[in-house]
Amino acid sequence: MAQKNIIIICGEASGDLNAATIAKEILKLNRDIKIYAVGGELLRSAGAQILYDIKELSVMGLFDVLKKLPKFFALKRFLLEKIREIKPQALIFVDFSGFNLRFAKEINNTIPAIYYISPQVWASRQGRIKTLRKYISKIIVLFRFEEEFYKKHGVNVDFTGHPLVDIVKATMDKKELLSSLKFLETKITIALLPGSRKQEIVKILPVMLKTARIIGKRIAAQFVIAKSPNVGWDIYDRIIKKFSLDLRVLEGKTYDCLNISFFALVASGTATLEAAMMQKPFVIIYKMSLLNYILYRPQIKIPYIGMVNIIAKRKIIPEFIQLKASPKRISAEVLRILKNQTELEEMKNNLGLVKSSLGEPGAGLRAAQIIINFLFPHL
């Protein structure tokens, strides 16, 4: 059987993680398929041939996008050349909507395009639905409410559930890890998850550390930072050295950090779902440059930004966004929650409901089967 080529395009760490899940399953299901990708180490490990590494593609806010426009134009030209060379039977877009939607227009239906983890058009800029309907052959979504939304707008959509259901699990024994970090079991361990992009960490980690400092003065607490492998140690070191805390940093061990913690401070994004999967009470923190916030906030048409709250359709986790993300305010709320056992249990129960809404195990396999059946019905 002739080789079939697919190009996957993602642009940041969470996209690399989710794209790797489906790439691995596609290659298991059919060895005659060759996957090329704009991606990172996880896609490479899954068996994709990396055409372009995503390390420098992640953006946060309009001005970061503007700064990187030359890079995105160069990437577009590069990919168009690669498409002529590789002649793929399909493109799979994973998140990264600013680039991927424009590239879908450029391709203009000359190659079937599937979108996995679609743009959050239900939250902002709903006009993009027309673009999706016109240029995307099929959308695969992770949340049931997204499936309902797209069906209502006449888009070809399938719901598979969330790949995190299979991915999120601790890899180390809790007691052994606490011991290796020289943490005391008698202290409350609080995990700090400041995001996976440099811009997020620069804005959010100082807020988390100031909050931790206040908490540490009030209760016996120890803190662990879940470091993203995509961001250099120098960024973390520069921020951390300003604080004197009972603090450790673990790289690429987000689930182990959550596993040993009693509570967490979490940047809005995929990490909120990871904390929900681990059933850890937490608060959501998010901050960007003020000008970016002023530009983006009017576009958001839903009352929450945390995915756990969006899924629950109510605020089950406190959100501290932009001007409200003050260490004094956050620490007061964390300390209040930590003293309230009933509230902690209610939070865990609500997170359990969010977890159960993410579908059954095997989401990556289901997505891979949908992709293969759609693209190659006669294989």
Q: Name, of 24-28, 55-59, 284-288, 305-309, the range with top average pLDDT.
A: 24-28
Tell me which of 54 and 59 has the higher pLDDT. Answer: 54
pLDDT for the residue 374: 92
The span from the CA of 181 to the CA of 175, in Å, is: 10
Q: What angle do CA 10, 56, 18 make, to 5 degrees?
A: 25
Cβ-Cβ contacts under 8 Å for 74 (sequence gap 6 or more): none
The C-alpha torsion from 15 through 134 and 144 to 92, rounded to 10°, is -30
pLDDT for the residue 351: 97
Let me know: does 90 contact 112? Beta carbons within 8 Å.
yes
Asked if pLDDT for residue 304 goes beyond 90, the answer is no
pLDDT for the residue 210: 97
What is the tens place of the pLDDT at every residue in 166-210? 989 999 999 999 999 999 999 999 999 999 888 899 999 999 999
Least confident among 23-37, 64-78, 98-112, 260-274: 64-78
pTM higher than 0.75:
yes
- Sheet bearing 138-141, strands edge to edge: 49-53, 33-39, 4-9, 90-94, 113-116, 138-141, 157-159
What is the tens place of the pLDDT at every residue in 11-52? 888 889 899 999 999 999 998 999 999 999 999 999 999 999
DSSP 3-state assignment of 126? Answer: coil
Confidence of residue 377 (pLDDT cuts 50, 70, 90): confident
Tell me which of 116 and 61 has the higher pLDDT. Answer: 116
Q: What are phi and psi of 94, to 5 degrees?
A: -125, 110
Confidence of residue 294 (pLDDT cuts 50, 70, 90): low
The span from the CA of 38 to the CA of 49, in Å, is: 9
Taking residues 284-289, report their average pLDDT. Answer: 86
Taking residues 370-376, report their average pLDDT. Answer: 92
Taking residues 265-280, report their average pLDDT. Answer: 94
Structure tokens at 88: 């793929």
Q: Which of 57, 52, 130, 144 is nearest to 95 (CA)?
A: 57
Structure tokens at 356: 């159960």
What is the tens place of the pLDDT at every residue in 56-94? 776 555 556 666 678 888 899 999 999 999 999 999 999
Q: How confident is the prediction for the chain on average, in pLDDT?
A: 90
Percentage of the residues of the chain whose pLDDT score is greater than 90: 74
The span from the CA of 376 to the CA of 338, in Å, is: 53
Let me know: does 148 contact 139? Beta carbons within 8 Å.
no
pLDDT for the residue 128: 84
